[in-house]
Copies of this chain bind each other. A is one copy, B any other.
Amino acid sequence: MSSMRQLLVHPSCEDLSLPTILYALGDPLRLRMVARLATGHDSDEKMACQDFLACEAVAKSTLSFHFKVLREAGLVRMVPQGRRVLVLLRREDLEARFPGVLEAVLSAYQKSITEKTR
Residues of A within 8 A of B (CB): 18-28, 30-31, 97-101, 103-105, 107-109, 111-112
Q: How far is the CA of A55 from the CA of B102 in the complex (A)?
A: 29
A104 contacts which of B30, B31, B104, B111 (Cβ < 8 Å)?
B104
- Asked whether, in the complex, the Cβ of B23 is within 8 Å of the Cβ of A26, the reply is yes
A98: chain B residues within 8 A (beta carbon)? 104, 108, 111-112
Q: How many copies does the complex hold?
A: 2
- Asked whether, in the complex, the Cβ of B31 is within 8 Å of the Cβ of A27, the reply is no
Q: How far is the CA of A98 from the CA of B30 in the complex (A)?
A: 18
- Asked whether, in the complex, the Cβ of A101 is within 8 Å of the Cβ of B108, the reply is yes
Looking across the interface, which residue of chain B has its beta carbon closest to that of A108? B98
